[in-house]
Amino acid sequence: MAKSISQLIKDEAKRQQNTLSLIASENIAPKEIRETTGSVLMNKYSEGYPGKRYYGGNEIIDQIEVMAQAAAKKLFGAEHANVQPYSGSPANIAVYTALLQFGDTVMGMSLPHGGHLTHGHKVNFSGKAYKFIQYGVDPETGLLNYDEIETQAKIFKPKLIVCGATAYPREIDFGRFGKIAKKVGAYLLADISHIAGLVAGGVHPQPFPHADVVTTTTHKTLRGPRGAVILCKNSLAEAIDKAVFPGLQGGPHDNITAAKAICLQIAAKPEFKRYAAQVVANAKALATSLQKLGFTLVTGGTDNHMLLVDLTSKNITGMKAERALEKVGIITNKNMIPGDLRSPFDPSGMRLGTSILTSRGMGEREMQEVAMMIAKVVDKPTSSAVLSAVKKEVAVLTKKFPIK
């Protein structure tokens, strides 16, 4: 007999509690945010914007959306905020819709080098609708080569430059990107979806005033609901708002808007700044520990919440490592590394993130323990004795740091 959805949700809660998740794009949303997403707000329809709705009965929804807008602007130093985008990809598409015509030239970071699908990959809408020029990282250092990016920009003269990444473990120089964009007369879009919580927490520089537009998801390092926000200069506000609605979306998800407001308000508090700092401290500790255990890290370390591990020297692929680690309760994701010759389905690396373990209260000492567990499994992925022993270690650590 098939399980009910209710039971499957309980099973998933148990799975999350009993595993160590190192997925860089995931986090644990506080109970208040989870409850808000399941509130009566999901019953309402509110096409339009505060004060200009196409449905009645939105006096309370208007207040919620205005609060979310204000919190977003204050947190990131933005002139305007649109809090309606359903997720990160639609947010990026809305920016393209607002500022570009189909066929316009755009620059974005290559997916195999750490960019996102919506930064111009050929299989994505972005890569089909616009002429994307892809930039990458230096093959030797794994770092962004800003001089090379500037050279490309001068040659191709894009209308928009996209900066930001999903698998780049170093600080992004928004100031340098801003200067490059200004030199070639391009708009600058900073997609900070992965690092937004670190920006809010003061451990990564703000993209404004260098960027014209900023997009971010509200989960990941922000610890909020699955959703997105677009921030921009006042001069682009009307175009951005029209692109979101009625250009691409109908009614916003009001329950998610409220959860975004709570998330953004929490991120402005001192305790969140301490959390963000600990995320980075944990990532650095995990990086150092893994290096001592013989692992090779792309760029040689990290400045943010994530690590990109090159498994080539360990004679194991990303897929095999991911599967072996999952057997003991350590959840990671296989990931391509710059210059990878393997398939995205079985690449040469894996991406690790410390947001969830930090949310559970773990610190640098626990990162050393986790590194040891990872090393044991990756070095002997087929040893039943090793897998059994590490699985017990995971059980002890997860019980010590319960999800609240």
CATH number (domain holding residue 201):
3.40.640.10
Of the three residues 229, 251, 266, the one that is the final residue of a domain is: 266
Of the three residues 266, 294, 316, the one that is the final residue of a domain is: 266
In 218-287 the beta strands, taken as DSSP E runs, fall at 228-232
**Are residues 367 and 349 part of one domain?**
yes
**Are residues 134 and 258 part of one domain?**
yes
- For the chain, the domain total comes to 2
Half-sphere exposure of 102 (CA within 13 A, CB side): 3
Q: Which residues contact 192 (CB under 8 A, 6 or more apart)?
A: 164, 199, 207, 214, 215, 216
Q: How far apart are CA 353 and CA 27, in angstroms?
A: 10
Task: Answer positive or negative: Cα dihedral of 93, 98, 100, 103.
Answer: positive
**20 within a domain of the structure (yes/no):** no
- Position 156 scores a pLDDT of 98
**Are residues 343 and 302 part of one domain?**
yes
**Could you give phi then psi for residue 184, rounded to 5 degrees?**
-105, 5
| Cβ atoms of residues 96 and 105 within 8 Å | no
Mapped onto helix, strand or coil, the DSSP state of residue 46 is coil
Condensed to tens digits (0 to 9), the pLDDT of residues 315-363 reads 999 999 999 999 999 999 999 999 999 999 999 999 999 999 999 999 9
**2 within a domain of the structure (yes/no):** no
pTM for this entry? 0.96
**Are residues 300 and 261 part of one domain?**
no
**322 within a domain of the structure (yes/no):** yes
10-residue mean pLDDT profile of the chain (404 residues): values are: 95 98 97 97 98 97 98 98 98 98 97 93 94 95 97 98 97 98 98 98 97 98 98 98 97 98 98 98 98 98 98 97 98 95 94 98 98 98 98 98 95
**Are residues 278 and 212 part of one domain?**
no
**Alpha helix ranges (H) inside 38-87:** 59-76
Is 144 marked as a binding-site residue?
Answer: no
Q: Which residues contact 191 (CB under 8 A, 6 or more apart)?
A: 88, 92, 116, 118, 119, 162, 163, 164, 165, 214, 215, 216
Domain containing residue 94: 31-266
Token reading at 144: 């962004």
> Which residues have a catalytic role annotated?
45, 47, 191, 217, 220, 226
Is 286 marked as a binding-site residue?
Answer: no
**Conformation bin of residue 394: beta by default, left when phi > 0, alpha when psi is -120 to 50:** alpha
- Position 287 scores a pLDDT of 98
Task: Give which of 347, 335, 324 is closest to 394, Cα–Cα.
Answer: 324
**99 within a domain of the structure (yes/no):** yes
**Are residues 124 and 58 part of one domain?**
yes
Q: How far apart are CA 350 and CA 311, in angstroms?
A: 7
**Are residues 342 and 262 part of one domain?**
no
| Cβ atoms of residues 191 and 109 within 8 Å | no
Give me the amino acid identity at 376: K
Q: Which residues contact 307 (CB under 8 A, 6 or more apart)?
A: 169, 283, 286, 287, 290, 297, 301, 351, 352, 353
* CATH code for the domain in which residue 373 is found: 3.90.1150.10
- Position 1 scores a pLDDT of 81
**CB atoms closer than 10 angstroms to residue 4:** 9
Of the three residues 230, 250, 266, the one that is the final residue of a domain is: 266
**149 within a domain of the structure (yes/no):** yes
Is 235 marked as a binding-site residue?
Answer: no
Is 125 marked as a binding-site residue?
Answer: no
